[in-house]
């Protein structure tokens, strides 16, 4: 890559925050209600990233999926999403080093839960635009959410980087024409997509994309 990206677009789970414990707990509380087997933390880590309906289908089986399960999970998780979830090391320093006008959040998590989580961790102030998995007609890996974030930021694709831990993030950014950064410390994999940047740890993001908020 040549010049350092001016605008940073972030995924949430597995990129900025470690939410596995609360997602696992919430899925298992619902599993208990449904008389389904409980899931291990490692299993939950492997099924996060493609939106909440896919999460439910993978957790309990696609053949038994109902919308009632989805709504119940959202209610349970809404009560527990801040029990253990926290920022990865260096994340707050990274966000603070950039003006909010240059930062966007693009997640497949439902928008309402995303806003509650960001507010609870005092992160909301860092983003000019927050896009959830239900904000538009398409979610990642489709490029539309990234394109909408770029519009809101007033940024050209070649000025921006999409930063995430899942191939959905990489496909979405690549499709929208941004640079892409893979967070190898997170929950997902590249799916064979070659990133422009790689962060082996969350603190690597500080070295790759340090800025000045002034």
For 54, the token pair is 């896919």
Please tell me which residue in 11, 18, 50, 165 is annotated as part of the active site: 11
The CA distance from 114 to 106, in Å, is 10
Active site residue 11: yes
The answer to whether 100 and 126 have CB atoms below 8 angstroms apart is yes
For 189, the token pair is 């994999």
For 167, the token pair is 């191939």
Q: Cα separations (Å) of 94 from 119, 126, 198? A: 17, 10, 16
Cβ-in-10-Å burial (0-12, 13-18, 19+) of 1 comes to exposed
The CA distance from 157 to 173, in Å, is 9
Q: Which residue has the tokens 């422009």?
A: 196
Residues that are catalytic = 11
């Amino acid at each position: 890559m040549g010049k350092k990206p001016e605008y940073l677009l972030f995924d949430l789970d597995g990129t900025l925050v470690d939410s596995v414990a609360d997602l696992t707990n919430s899925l298992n509380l619902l599993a208990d209600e449904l008389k389904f087997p409980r899931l291990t933390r490692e299993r939950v880590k492997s099924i996060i990233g493609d939106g909440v309906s896919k999460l439910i289908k993978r957790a309990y089986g696609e053949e038994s999926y109902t919308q009632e399960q989805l709504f119940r999970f959202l209610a349970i998780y809404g009560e527990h999403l801040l029990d253990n979830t926290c920022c990865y090391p260096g994340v707050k320093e990274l966000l603070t080093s950039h003006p909010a006008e240059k930062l966007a959040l693009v997640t497949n998590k439902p928008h309402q839960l995303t806003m509650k989580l960001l507010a609870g961790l005092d992160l909301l102030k860092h983003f000019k635009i927050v896009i959830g998995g239900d904000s538009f007609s398409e979610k990642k890996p489709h490029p539309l959410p990234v394109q909408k974030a770029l519009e809101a930021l007033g940024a050209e694709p070649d000025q921006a980087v999409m930063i995430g831990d899942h191939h959905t993030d990489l496909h979405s950014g690549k499709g929208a024409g941004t640079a892409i950064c893979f967070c190898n410390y997170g929950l997902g994999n590249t799916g064979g997509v070659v990133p422009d940047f790689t962060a082996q740890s969350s603190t690597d993001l500080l070295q790759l994309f340090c800025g000045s908020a002034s």
